[in-house]
Amino acid sequence: MSEASPPVPVTDFERRFGNPPGLFILFFTEMWERFSYYGMRGLLKLYMVNYLFVTVRQTLQGGTYSGEGSPDEVLGWSFIKGLLPAADPAQFQECIGPKVKALVEGDVANGVAPVAEALAQNIAQQTCAASANASLLYGFYTGLVYLTPLFGGIIADRYLGQRKTVIVGGILMAIGHFVMAFENSFFLALGLLILGNGAFKPNISTQVGGLYAEGDSRRDGAFTIFYMGINLGAFICNFVCGTLAAVYGWHYGFGAAGVGMVLGLIVYILGQPYLAPDNFMKKKAEHAEVSQPLTSVEWKAVGALVALCALNVVFWAVYEQQGNTMQTWADEQTVWPVIAGFQVPSTWFQSFNPFFIFALAPVLDMFWRWQKQRGTEPSTVSKMAIGCFILGGSFIVMVVGAQVVGDGQGSLFWPVACTLLLTIGELYLSPIGLSLVTKVSPVRIVSMMMGMWFLSSFFGNTLSGVIGSWYGMMSKESFFMMLTALGIGTGMAMWAFNAPLRRALGREV
């Protein structure tokens, strides 16, 4: 389906470690980039709800509301607020009552002083109203970072090549993270991060596929290793960014994310000699036309991938609740331990998912190889459907948890058990999908098609914000049951799509 592309010459390193050194350059580049992205994302909603868009503020993440400020000082907020739904306090009684109770009681053992009831009412009304808008903004932001990769892929395929586009994207993101440390420039920072991610994201992933020849059996394993790099960065970032935000203040956490992005850029630039020539470089060396018409077979492959991406939308809308409403649950309704006198911040919750990924990815890889030896390994699309079923089922844990915990605070077991199952579902879908794109896409538009894959995340993340805005308007049991139904329903649709996709591609996938 895609044109053959020769790998870089075999080296002693490759003979010894089983993969070319370029894979590990890309691994550590992506690790630091994801450190920066997820470190900032783990703070994002809590920052908007408890600091940026309220007048009585938490100066330290998770601490007492001891600061004051005005959301109107944030450039562009008045305009953007006018585009968002008006907040009616009557809609947020499910949120306000428990919030007032928690504020009045305080948590003296962990340094959170109780507040007077009148002040508690003020804070609760502001934060609960801000939470709905923050969910929408969170969804739009995390959606847009997956829309711009489509354009970043086109730029790389037609004009700059993957390497230069990655560097441009990394620079924009580093600047964006540092700008985030200044609250009045919040929306400018988000804009820089969205543009930078668009240039970076599709072009780092496609370079992994470029390290291997057509049909090389190591390709799927290489993407699993690469995916572990993504999640290693996502795992460690919250211990750094989240802890700095809790101990020194929000802006230190955002600044640490910027440092991570700079480190990723340094690794990538120094590792250039170990990477395979990108597609643009190959075409230039061969004096080939950058743009050639697609064949009918290639168009079928493109159409099949677009259809598959459309089915992914609901998966990502449900999955992304872990950084949205699940983070709210972890912050407000979970008892976090104190270790050696240090109160563990709720933002550490964001490290469970990546920890489970690099713990479980090798296990699943062995399981799939075991299935393959017996001829029972599911097809690529079947694996993705299974992932949707498991994702939906994971929120049954939260339905039970909501019934047990009620309006109070409960065990860490509930969000962690949900995240464990959710992660297994992710491993059945996400890295498998990345590998599929590089396998079946026409090579001269592979970056654009990787952008198309991420486009499903754009719609999914945007939808996740809309869904998340209902969190304070429904009972928690009803909310999590809705997520269960969405996940399982998507799995059923994807399972039905298996045979048509195979026919479109003319082979088993």
Residue 345: CATH number of its domain:
1.20.1250.20
Residue 11 resides in a domain: no
Indicate if the pLDDT at residue 109 is higher than 70.
Answer: no
Mean pLDDT, the chain, rounded, equals: 85
% of the chain residues with pLDDT over 70: 90
Between 409 and 442, the higher pLDDT residue: 409
* Structure tokens belonging to residue 336: 């976090």
Eight-state DSSP code of residue 295: P
Q: Report pLDDT for 132.
A: 85
Instruction: Name the pLDDT band for 504 (thresholds 50, 70, 90).
Output: low
Residue 246 resides in a domain: yes
Residue 5 resides in a domain: no
Domain, as residue range, for 441: 26-285+294-505
**Residue of 402, 457, 407, 422 lying closest to 349 (CA atoms):** 422
Q: Report pLDDT for 12.
A: 65
Query: Structure pTM?
Result: 0.77
Instruction: Name the pLDDT band for 2 (thresholds 50, 70, 90).
Output: very low
Question: Rg (Cα) of the chain, in Å, rounded?
Answer: 23
Residue 15 resides in a domain: no
Q: Report pLDDT for 469.
A: 85
Least confident of 155-169, 339-353, 397-411, 430-444: 430-444
Indicate if the pLDDT at residue 426 is higher than 50.
Answer: yes
Which residue carries 């490759």 as its tokens? Answer: 14
Q: Report pLDDT for 441.
A: 76
Residue 10 resides in a domain: no
Between 110 and 385, the higher pLDDT residue: 385
Q: What angle do CA 124, 127, 133 make, to 5 degrees?
A: 145
**Residue of 239, 269, 235, 231 lying closest to 256 (CA atoms):** 239
Q: Report pLDDT for 500.
A: 72
Return all residues near 270 (Cβ < 8 A) that are at least 6 apart.
Answer: none
Q: Is 484 within 8 Å of 392 (Cβ atoms)?
A: yes
Across the range 233-249, mean pLDDT stands at 91
Instruction: Name the pLDDT band for 293 (thresholds 50, 70, 90).
Output: confident
3-state SS assignment for residue 65: strand
Between 136 and 380, the higher pLDDT residue: 136
* Structure tokens belonging to residue 165: 């586009």
Return all residues near 393 (Cβ < 8 A) that are at least 6 apart.
Answer: 421, 425, 484, 487, 488
Angle between helix axes 186-209 and 446-468 (nearest 10 degrees) is 140
Residue 207 resides in a domain: yes
Domain total for the chain? Answer: 1
Between 234 and 217, the higher pLDDT residue: 234
Which residue carries 């850029």 as its tokens? Answer: 265
66, containing H or E segment: strand 65-68
Distances (CA, A) of 257 to 176, 186, 320, 345, 357: 10, 15, 20, 17, 21
Q: Report pLDDT for 17.
A: 61
Residue 17 resides in a domain: no
Across the range 170-197, mean pLDDT stands at 94
Across the range 419-431, mean pLDDT stands at 91
Instruction: Name the pLDDT band for 5 (thresholds 50, 70, 90).
Output: very low
- Distance (Å, rounded) from C-alpha 159 to C-alpha 452? 18
Q: Report pLDDT for 35.
A: 93
Residue 62 resides in a domain: yes
